[in-house]
Amino acid sequence: MKKLAIHGGKPQREAQYPSWPISGPREEELIRQVLSSGQWGGFHEFVTQFEQLFAGLHDARHGVAVANGSIGLELALLASGIGPGDEVIVPAHSFISTATAVSRIGATPVFVDIGRDSFNMDLQAMEQAIGDDTKAVIPVHFAGLVCDAEELTRLQRLHRFRIIEDAAHAHGAEWNGARAGGMGLAGVFSFQNSKAMTAGEGGILISSDDETAARARSLANGGRRPDGGWFEHFELGTNLRITGLQAAALLAQLERLPEQIRIRRENAEIVREGLSRVPGVHLQELPEAATVHTHYLLPGWIDALEFGADRDDFVKALEGEGVPIRPFYPHPLYKNPVFKNKDIKSRVTACPVAEAAAHDSFWLPQRVLMGTAEDALDIVRAVEKIYEVFKPKKTAGKPN
């Protein structure tokens, strides 16, 4: 049996996985064009070009690029008429702004559980949480796995809520051929440094609803309207524009996206196949309907009884073997101090899976899936090595 690196053995690998973000001559060339244009701001033609291209690629008619994904979510809520007194259902695990965006515009987030193997909002729990004040639902396409779009749409028709997709993880992702972000009333993406496409910071709201998109544009552009003057302001707007420099980077990043998704999917397949043979390691499900899972992350959970070690020991051991990995969010969103504040209203439904996930789940970051097939196989080899050391004494193999 090989000795683990955390026990003083040789790590599975010493070479680094590819670093992130990735850029090249194309980003430099386009950024240089903006630099020499005399218009570095949000009115450079690259911004409109990017908005149209990105929205079109995600099955939406309009795109409004904004400073970041967090503000994009607030904008989507405001532009779709959500406000004080309204409830908005969100998953109990996500990045904080999925929920704080709701509070910041004066509405009330309602936290519901996630699915054990989907890591996405549990749609049954979501339906049970619907109340008289429910006006919208924010599904998060976690890790690049689109939420079950047919079921979501069925529930939407039945209960008539607005869908605002948090697609911060899901650039280019699909469910039965339909692209993430383009299914709801509005969809919001992030271009923050770690995301699958990045300009350092940035975001975009996409929508095929003319009214929502026009309102979002106006709110993000000082309350102006296309038919009004520069100093005529119709909405209580502000400036949420991205710069031409960011749009230049994003145009180049968009060109890289299909190839990067292809590489991640191929490597994820290798990891999924290899780890399916290791007892106690459960990776995020990959339903057939998820025609493109972009694997921005590869999440999973550890069954400590089957694996012989808990999530924390697994994470430490895998890091020791040279594979970057992150424990999951440390607690469901509603356990953050901000939602303990009595002045900030929220409603919490039973979330047993979200509670468990905080202790037993993890994710592999996208960069470990951006290398070669051998790099991906190293993840499998490292996990197998760890399992051999920790496996429960009586387990002969994975039960059928």
Nearer to ligand PLP, 113 or 378 (CB): 113
Reading the block at residue 86, the tokens are: 């309204």
Nearer to ligand PLP, 254 or 377 (CB): 254
* CB of 192 vs ligand PLP, minimal distance in Å: 4
Neighbours of 7 (CB within 10 A): 10
| Cα four-point dihedral sign 40, 41, 43, 47 | positive
* CB of 190 vs ligand PLP, minimal distance in Å: 3
Residue ranges binding ligand PLP (CB under 6 A): 68-70, 94-95, 97-98, 140, 166, 168-169, 190, 192, 203
Nearer to ligand PLP, 296 or 307 (CB): 296
Three-state SS for 88? strand
* CB of 195 vs ligand PLP, minimal distance in Å: 7
Q: Rounded to 5 degrees, what are φ and ψ at 194?
A: -85, -10
CA distance 207 to 221: 17
Closest CA to 376 of 285, 255, 237, 270: 270
Nearer to ligand PLP, 190 or 361 (CB): 190
Nearer to ligand PLP, 166 or 360 (CB): 166
CA distance 297 to 291: 16
Closest CA to 372 of 79, 13, 36: 13
* CB of 166 vs ligand PLP, minimal distance in Å: 5
Judge whether 123 and 148 are in contact, CB under 8 Å: yes
* CB of 169 vs ligand PLP, minimal distance in Å: 6
Nearer to ligand PLP, 204 or 252 (CB): 204
Nearer to ligand PLP, 98 or 218 (CB): 98
* CB of 231 vs ligand PLP, minimal distance in Å: 30
Closest CA to 205 of 195, 193, 214, 196: 214
- Which residue's Cβ has the minimum distance to ligand PLP? 69
Closest CA to 120 of 140, 96, 97, 98: 140
* CB of 15 vs ligand PLP, minimal distance in Å: 28
